Structure 1
């Protein structure tokens, strides 16, 4: 168990980098969803795929790092239900950081569109082309993404509640160079 009151600097950097990438991927995903096929849509799809694969790789790094650099303990004053909710939310966030990019990658393969990371590195197809499977995976990818949006809203709301209402250090220990609220 981490006895420090704060997360390690690498944990903080990975958290905020991934937050920006995930929010960007969600924004691009939502904006391109209803677009008609065009060069811009194809460009956005590729950017979305590249960010997704980057998130997948960073999620693996983050999970390995978390096993090494354990997070700081939650305050002992936190009610048991909040501790349980925090652990469940973090577990679900990690599951989705893997499941969403993998479902998108598999969907792309099933629809017959390879993933070429950054336009340079072709990635192996996770499944064989199959239009019906591609449609199912598109629905799965979308449902998981909306689930992630809901979890992110709850995550941010909980962090803000701790910071602004409870005035504890739950949020500040994940902020770069932040002091505890007074």
Structure 2
């Protein structure tokens, strides 16, 4: 009798092509969103309207890609962890948890902020209008402040993540960075 292995039971040493795509597409969408909000221009200008729209589009792309990424990881599994100290594994898991919270919480805060400001948010690439909350000026200000604070923290968190990947590559000389850049022959 042959034994069937569940897709989740597969364990490789590298990320799959689709997981790598989700990682870098999400990173690009985050970069576009951060860039757009930084250069948007003065209040009331056409430039600000356009770049705010780009920022919201990027945020909804981040949210959609993140949902797909988690669903893919649940179905396909993740590569086995590289041998590191307990402290390194703890810190890596902590930063990854914070990054996953960021890619879900920040776009949802943005949607809630726009909704409580009185507008709907169009889901990127669709005609779907998201209106989850009614207009509420007090909630809008609170959500705006939270979205702004977390957005600023995101710069540090993303920088820490990138720095850790570089340190792993140059100092520890392990495969942490390489396996998110290329697919192994195991796939």
Higher relative contact order (CA 8 A, sep 6+): 2
2:169 paired residue number: 163
Give deviations 1:76-114, integer Å, cap 9, x for gaps.
2x1101101111111111111010000001100111122
Classify the secondary structure of the residue corresponding to 2:119.
coil
Give the distance between the partners of 1:177 and 1:5, measured in 2 at CA: 9
Q: How many residues align?
A: 177
Give the distance between the partners of 1:120 and 1:12, measured in 2 at CA: 24
Report whether the alignment pairs 1:45 with 2:52.
yes
Report whether the alignment pairs 1:128 with 2:108.
no
Q: Is the 8 A contact 1:108 1:134 kept in 2?
A: yes
Judging changes above 3 Å, is the alpha-carbon distance between structure 1 residues 84 and 118 closer, same or farther for their aligned structure 2 residues? closer
Runs of 4+ in 1 over 3 A off after TM superposition: 117-120
Give deviations 1:42-86, integer Å, cap 9, x for gaps.
11111111111111111000011111222212222x110110111
1:21 paired residue number: 29
Q: Is the 8 A contact 2:16 2:183 kept in 1?
A: no
Structure 1 position 13, deviation (Å): 0.7
1:91 paired residue number: 97
Q: Is the 8 A contact 2:121 2:129 kept in 1?
A: yes
2:178 paired residue number: 172
1:6 paired residue number: 14
1:113 paired residue number: 119
Structure 1 position 126, deviation (Å): 1.6
1:146 paired residue number: 152
1:30 paired residue number: 38
| Structure 1 runs not aligned, ≥5 long | none
TM-score of the two chains, using structure 2 as the length reference: 0.88
Q: Is the 8 A contact 1:110 1:129 kept in 2?
A: yes
TM-score of the two chains, using structure 1 as the length reference: 0.90
Judging changes above 3 Å, is the alpha-carbon distance between structure 1 residues 163 and 41 closer, same or farther for their aligned structure 2 residues? same
